[in-house]
Amino acid sequence: MTYNKKDFLEIVEKRNSNQPEFLQAVEEVLEDIIPFINENKKYQNKALLERMVEPERVISFRVPWLNDNWQIQVNRGFRIEFNSAIGPYKGGLRFHPSVNESILKFLWFEQVFKNALTTLPMWGWKGGSDFDPKWKSDNEIMKFCQSFMIELYRHIWPNTDVPAGDIGVWAREIGYLFWQYKRIRNEFTGILTWKGLEFGGSLIRPEATGYGLVYFVEEVLKNILNDNFIDKKVLISGSWNVAQFAAEKVIELGWKVLTMSDSSWTIYDKCWINKEKLEFIKELKNNKRWRIKEYIKEYKDAIFVENKKPWDIKEYIKNINIDIALPCATQNEIIDKDAKKLVKSGVKIIAEGANMPSTPEAINIYKKENIIYVPWKASNAGWVAVSGLEMTQNSLKYSWTKEKVDEKLKTIMKDIYKQCQIYGKNKEWKIDFVKGANIAWFVKVADAMLAQGIV
């Protein structure tokens, strides 16, 4: 029996109604996976896709906590454990008011790709809460994390399920969660990654996604464009961890960063964002109330515009062609009109640092215009790679140097590129990175599931 995409999607939609983010992620994957299954008898009549879109378990729980005004607050916690065929569950915890089952299932689905592509033995899950840490005191965040872990600890274990950080869950939150777990279990284990260096964390964890993104772009330039690497002009959206460290690595390579942004403002700097300017942006980040427009007070030659995106650069800096665009802000930040602006800017490579930042309409424009497009599931796998390396270091009771971790990260990103190359070549011998990433993860996971029977 072969699959029909439309029929299969209808089944998924019925079982997951009102979950648009998850359905978007599934639909994108089916575009490549269904033809591959239909061409390979090994994967037919095994209900692999039916099993892959269903998590092993979905856990929802109440999180009561006491704020600084002695008022009881109640949030909802989630844990979605997808499939343990290739290793223990591994993925981030997100604390944000937008968190719901659809968002987490979308994030969990993309986590599956990243974990499988890293070649490390770990599988995908996501968890979190609709708790908003913004404007909360340290005491309130600690109380919430302690209450959250009182339920979460029942479902996690070093060889079963290892959480990491995500949006709203940084070093502070991981510290509070880790201590509560240790207090409940009365043991010191590597149950969480993104820990502080003082208690088992890994070096270059904050840098991992941004660095890994640029390492992937280096492979594209070297292997596809046979480029000299000189004087590349780069657009970056966002200004937090991923964007900052992508910019840091870009500057280190001698390329030129022209833009960074936040949710309301974009800065365009025709004199480039150099190391000194980037350090200023990093310092701004330490102030919870900062906005990217503060940059203009220090560097007056730059332009800042409200409600504009980096992709609008041609409106503000004329006579310049862009080589690389790195969307590092948020999902669906590039819609069709933005993609058209990127085409006009002359961009050759679009590599994604955020999770699913391009809409399907934008991706269709990239393909039509023959722009090299590297999807998030391949290019922003750096953080989960280093999380996996942190797990290895914890199990060895040993910490690697920054150089050692960076070397291993670069090797993992090269391996991801190679997998995309193997499975993504088309009849013209060009590489479709979306197809390559989708089929590479599918083959790895499907083979493990087939070897283990009905899992």
Per CATH, 5-187 and 208-370 having the same topology is answered yes
**pLDDT at 429 > cutoff 70:** no
Has residue 438 got a pLDDT over 80?
Answer: yes
Q: Would the pTM of this model clear 0.85, i.e. be above it? A: yes
Class of domain 208-370: alpha beta
CA distance 387 to 111: 12
The per-residue pLDDT for range 47-70, each reduced to its tens digit, is 999 998 888 889 999 999 999 999
Which pLDDT score, from 0 to 100, does residue 406 have? 95
CA distances from 67 to 72, 129, 139, 143, 181 (A): 7, 16, 8, 8, 21
Which CATH architecture group holds 5-187?
3-Layer(aba) Sandwich (3.40)
pLDDT bracket for residue 288 (50, 70, 90): low
- Sequential DSSP letters for 278-315: HHHHHHHHTSTT--GGGHHHH-TTSEEEET--GGGGGG
Residue 286 is predicted with a pLDDT of 66
Give yes or no for residue 1 having a pLDDT over 70.
no
Active-site residue, from 126, 233, 348, 435: 126
d(CA 206, CA 227) in angstroms, rounded, equals 29
122: pLDDT confidence band, cut at 50, 70 and 90?
low
Q: Of 275, 280, 271, 285, which Cα lies nearest the Cα of 242?
A: 285
SS3 43: helix
**What's the confidence (pLDDT) of residue 425?**
87
| Helix spans in 101-191 (H) | 101-117, 138-152, 171-185
The mean pLDDT value of the chain amounts to: 91
pLDDT at position 390 is 87
Active-site residue 377, yes or no? no
Query: What letter does residue 155 receive in the DSSP assignment?
Result: G
Neighbours of 430 (CB within 10 A): 11
- Going from N- to C-terminal start, the domains of the chain cover 5-187, 208-370
**pLDDT class for 275, splitting at 50, 70, 90?**
very high
Contact between residue 400 and residue 200 where contact means Cβ atoms under 8 Å apart: no
